[in-house]
Amino acid sequence: MNTPLTPPQLESRIADGVLVVDVRSASEYAQGHVPGAVNVPLDSVRALLPDLRETAQRRGLAVVCASGARSRTACERLEQAGIDAAELAGGTDAWQSAGLPLAVADLPVQRQVWAMDRQVRFAAGALVLTGLAVGLRVPRARLLSAGIAAGLVYSGVSGTCGMAAVLAKLPHNRPHPQTLDAARAGLHG
């Protein structure tokens, strides 16, 4: 497993020709990404393994996401497939905190989707409020709120998020068919 890169280290590697692969959803990518990064949503990594392998051999890969959790998962998948890739510690959040610029992409209006962390906060908050409101009539419904709270604590401790994994499967969060075509083109470009 590679040692995660700091933003300045990644900036240096980009200057040397490494390709950055952003594994967030297309809408998250559009809102701000490392300049020159190619969007390959995490769920698409397996489908693009041959393309990723060729790019890694030709110029090297660095994988990023928002905070580092999805890029770590992507790097593990790549490593299992025998593909060498580095990850950016702290993701685009760390990149931006280091004072480095983010590029913004345009998406068609119908594809604008909230960032995953915002979707998780909304869904968790709505479920907690629902559990508390229904719990006024049916006390056991408060267990829903307790379950969501426990899931959030586990998410914070483990660095994973089950709710994000579930939300990522919703149709509005799935990559548009052109996303894979654009990713392939970016990997070979």
Identify the three-state secondary structure at position 63: strand
- CA–CA separation, 152 vs 154, rounded Å? 5
* Residues annotated catalytic, as ranges: 65
> What are residue 64's phi and psi, to 5 degrees?
-135, 155
- CA–CA separation, 95 vs 161, rounded Å? 22
Report the first-to-last Cα separation within the chain, whole angstroms: 27
